[in-house]
Structure 1
Amino acid sequence: MAEDSLRVAVMGAGAVGCYFGGMLARAGHEVVLIGRPAHVQAIEAEGLRLQTRAFDERVQVAASADVAAVAGASLVLFCVKSTDTEAAAASMLPHLAPGTLVLSLQNGVDNAERLRTLLPQPVRAAVVYVATEMAGPGHVRHHGRGELLVEPGRGGDTWAEAFRAAGVPVQVSADARQALWVKLILNCAYNALSAIGQAPYGRLVATDGVHELMREVVRECVAVAAADGVEIPADIEATVFALAPSMPGQRSSTAQDLARGKHTEIEHLNGYVVRCGQRHGIATPMNATLRTLVRLIESGRTPAAS
């Protein structure tokens, strides 16, 4: 391993974690993917299959189902579902070195804040712009984008150049909180609808009535964000509707979770907007309806085995 190589642990090696961990491992960094046994076994047997628009390769990378594998890492990519943040952080804490930098690569806007209440290590929020899915055990399929926007903070930024050299664009920005809210709005507009219809984004927005519904979701989110002290860019609707043409074949992570019988992050997406709206006295009927419908579908499905 070269002197400037990173020692990285990916906590929660699903589609997002496997993509970024795989890109770093492909560039020669020491990476361990911590995930479900089925994925770990496949990666140990044949490597991680990293299928992107530019290449389709088997990347040799360490994998483990044991959280203790985070030991020795100077950087942790924290990629667990928002519903698992506290439990995963508590299990990881005994194995972390004091100066380990933890980057939260998660959906939602409050994960880094929640992590800081549990971990003495430096924690920074990252806004993730990537379209990926697990196409099978040990097989991540990349549909587009792949950049990170990270809030400034403790831990320094020397790691960022290594990411860029590995093909992962990184921007460190004081506007990260606004960007987290913009990403939340995108998720609120697309995730539940894609999940309810099990529809990719291209087919979703081509469906009669969907544009009007999404506009109402966005308006509610913008009102709640403003009440929470976050100014959303005026062109947010254009940003929302530009997403589908850029990745028409992508299904939301919520749709993928429902299709696999897994619990979703809906409470940290539309559900978060509903709760934040309640705190500020703002009605959010569209977000509340989407949250309820996804929860209804969840309640009729058996959770997937670990």
Structure 2
Amino acid sequence: MTDPILVWGAGAIGGTLGAHWARAGHDVLLVDTVADHVEACRTTGLSIFGPVAEFTQVVPAVTPAELTGTFSRIVLAVKAQATRDALPMLAPHLSPGGFVLSAQNGLNEIEIAEAVGAERTMGCFVNFGADWHGPGRILYGNRGALVVGEIDGTIRDRTRAMFDLARGFEPDAVLTTDVWAYLWGKMAYGAMLFATALNHDSMTENFADPARMPAWLALGREVTATAIARGVTPRGFGGFDPMAFAPGRAEADGIRIVEWLRDYTAVGAKTHSGIWRDLAVRKRKTEAASQLNIVPKLAAQLGIATPALSAVGRLIADIEDGRREQSPATFRALLDALP
């Protein structure tokens, strides 16, 4: 493959990956809808800062309207809610034998496969901490797991090639034949991160409060039960084992995982989730409607009740629409919704 790696979405995930790949000598082209960010990346450079890495890298970048040509590798790194709009724009730029790799949070591979075909879709589990802080500036807060795999469970030359790129960014990256297990495992963690954004406490403060433990346990159980019912055994990262929330497991098993999350989120420069930043700082809609709310829909098809997940989705929407504030009272509404 000699054409550039096209990174569609140069924010927290895409910008961090693209800057590192460009610095390593790979041919990278960023695509982003924020014109000021595009201009900064291609002129003064994209600055990666924080405890993991500090550097500025000029990276070729364009807006979607400026993009021409076709590409064999498109790394889709937009927010989940932007996937639907991005796909018809990028599809004409995907070469006949090319593929789209989803470097996103959630289960976006389902939607991508419906748009461009399962054969042209590759999965990726991303869990490093990063935040977009403005045009040309991204905080790389902490290293995290990075897993690459085909959605059909095979391993091909293209899979190994993308794995090599992933390992160039994260030396501990993993090549897997079961990427869905990682994606569903991340959903269990992600559901909890959405809940931490209901108030202004840090992720660590949220996980450390014993009074909030019922919420974390309920969210983990609902996601894991849905995954298992769909034939997937969720896998985690680090000390996060989503199977601790599986049906029949002791409550103490789940509590230990939440305690691990308390300690895990206490390390690194990123104190709050990107979801919290969307609500509190950027004042924009989160990924809840596109990322989180898919699980209750899938669960309903299987007869699984999801009161905790459904409540988080409703409460996030209330905050987005100005009906509620991020506050202890809003988190209390989540606890009140539990059986």
Give the TM-score of the pair, scaled to structure 2: 0.80
Distance apart, 1:20 and its partner CA = 0.8
Other-structure match for 1:25:
22
Is residue 195 from structure 1 mapped to residue 197 from structure 2 by the alignment?
yes
Equivalent position to 1:159, from 162, 181, 190: 162
Other-structure match for 1:214:
216
Distance apart, 1:39 and its partner CA = 1.2
Is residue 171 from structure 1 mapped to residue 174 from structure 2 by the alignment?
yes
Is residue 228 from structure 1 mapped to residue 249 from structure 2 by the alignment?
no
Is residue 113 from structure 1 mapped to residue 122 from structure 2 by the alignment?
no
Distance apart, 1:185 and its partner CA = 0.4
- 1:18/1:140 contact within 8 Å kept: yes
Other-structure match for 2:91:
93
- 2:16/2:140 contact within 8 Å kept: yes
Is residue 244 from structure 1 mapped to residue 262 from structure 2 by the alignment?
yes
Instruction: Pick closer, same or farther for the CA change 1:77–1:43 going to 2, 3 Å.
Output: same
Other-structure match for 2:292:
270
Partner Cα separation in structure 2 for residue 241 and residue 266 of structure 1: 25
Gaps of 5+ in 1: 302-306
Equivalent position to 1:103, from 93, 101, 104: 101
Is residue 55 from structure 1 mapped to residue 77 from structure 2 by the alignment?
no
- 2:11/2:77 contact within 8 Å kept: yes
3-state SS, counterpart of residue 47 of structure 2: strand
- 1:74/1:101 contact within 8 Å kept: yes
Partner Cα separation in structure 1 for residue 261 and residue 70 of structure 2: 38
Other-structure match for 2:72:
74
Give a deviation string over 1:155-199, Cα, whole Å, max 9, x none.
3422322332344543221221111111000000122x2221133
Distance apart, 1:18 and its partner CA = 0.6
Partner Cα separation in structure 2 for residue 170 and residue 205 of structure 1: 27
Bigger mean CA offset, 157-166 vs 259-268: 157-166
Partner Cα separation in structure 2 for residue 140 and residue 57 of structure 1: 10
Other-structure match for 2:5:
8
3-state SS, counterpart of residue 201 of structure 2: coil
Distance apart, 1:71 and its partner CA = 3.0
- 2:7/2:77 contact within 8 Å kept: yes
Give a deviation string over 1:46-82, Cα, whole Å, max 9, x none.
1000114243111111111125537343321101122
Equivalent position to 1:183, from 183, 186, 194: 186
- 1:103/1:125 contact within 8 Å kept: yes
Q: Which amino acid aligns with 2:307?
A: P
Instruction: Pick closer, same or farther for the CA change 1:52–1:6 going to 2, 3 Å.
Output: farther
Distance apart, 1:208 and its partner CA = 4.6
Give the TM-score of the pair, scaled to structure 1: 0.88
- 1:131/1:144 contact within 8 Å kept: yes
Other-structure match for 1:256:
277
Q: Which amino acid aligns with 1:264?
A: T
RMSD: 2.3
Partner Cα separation in structure 1 for residue 46 and residue 196 of structure 2: 27
- 2:227/2:233 contact within 8 Å kept: yes
Partner Cα separation in structure 2 for residue 251 and residue 117 of structure 1: 33
Partner Cα separation in structure 1 for residue 258 and residue 177 of structure 2: 22
Give a deviation string over 1:204-234, Cα, whole Å, max 9, x none.
2233512221111112222222222223453
- 1:11/1:67 contact within 8 Å kept: no
Distance apart, 1:15 and its partner CA = 0.4
3-state SS, counterpart of residue 22 of structure 1: helix
Partner Cα separation in structure 2 for residue 64 and residue 97 of structure 1: 18
Equivalent position to 1:296, from 294, 314, 318: 318
